């Protein structure tokens, strides 16, 4: 249950139906945002503007979004982000390996560049080295760099908003591979290392 009472009625139902048209699935979380129509419509307008970028491949943009979501720990964003990354061509193997991208050997140089940018921007405090930003600009151009930075920054806004409102996952990745939050990934890795270090059980 979200921390804001979902709106009921015809307008709220129209918002939910619109989410199915835009995202391929009814999203009941739209009822929460429907409580404040002006903010909701401004949110949607900016969301549409940021997502219209053409200078960075869609798969890389979705990868940056998903990495930011795992850094913030937004369950809703990791759910929908994993699905949209899949639709853009990211394999399930990469979705699951996102928390150990450099070590996995699965990602291309462009993918690692985007992951590093999203990691730096989504850390607290944010840290983006000049050398990293230079490489982003050289690879994607000034406008491409701006599109990518805006998209990652916007995902931070969406993710932190959803965390504050306690917006639950909507089932986009139900039964499929789904990225996990950074802390969860670290715990999974630490648990695996501890298990591997244990002596074998005598038979």
For 128-153, the DSSP string reads --HHHHHHHHHHHHHHHHHHHHHHHH
Please state at what angle helix 75-87 crosses helix 58-72, rounded to 10 degrees. Answer: 160
Summarised one tens digit per residue, pLDDT across range 62-115 is 999 999 999 999 999 999 999 999 999 999 999 999 999 999 999 999 999 999
133 closest CA partner among 123, 148, 122: 148
Summarised one tens digit per residue, pLDDT across range 32-50 is 999 999 999 999 999 999 9
pLDDT, residue 180, reads 94
- Kindly report the CA angle at 158 between 25 and 170, in degrees rounded to 5? 25
As a whole number, the mean pLDDT across the chain is 91
60 closest CA partner among 19, 101, 103: 101
């Amino acid at each position: 249950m979200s921390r804001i009472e979902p709106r009921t009625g015809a307008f709220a139902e129209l918002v939910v139906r619109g989410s199915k048209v835009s995202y391929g699935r009814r999203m009941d979380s739209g009822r929460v945002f429907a409580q404040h129509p002006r903010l909701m419509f401004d949110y949607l307008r900016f969301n549409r503007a940021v997502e219209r970028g053409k200078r960075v491949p869609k798969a890389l943009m979705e990868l940056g979004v998903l990495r930011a979501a795992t850094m913030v720990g937004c369950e809703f964003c990791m759910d929908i982000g994993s699905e949209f990354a899949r639709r853009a061509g990211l394999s399930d193997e990469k979705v699951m390996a996102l928390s150990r991208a450099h070590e996995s050997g699965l990602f291309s140089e462009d993918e690692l560049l985007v992951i590093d940018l999203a990691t730096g921007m989504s850390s607290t405090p944010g840290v983006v080295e000049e050398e990293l930003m230079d490489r982003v600009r050289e690879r994607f151009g000034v406008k491409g760099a701006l599109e990518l930075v805006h998209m990652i920054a916007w995902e931070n806004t969406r993710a932190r908003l959803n965390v504050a409102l306690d917006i639950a996952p909507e089932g986009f990745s139900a039964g499929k591979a789904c990225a996990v939050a950074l802390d969860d990934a670290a715990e999974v890795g630490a648990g695996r290392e501890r298990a591997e270090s244990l002596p074998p059980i005598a038979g």
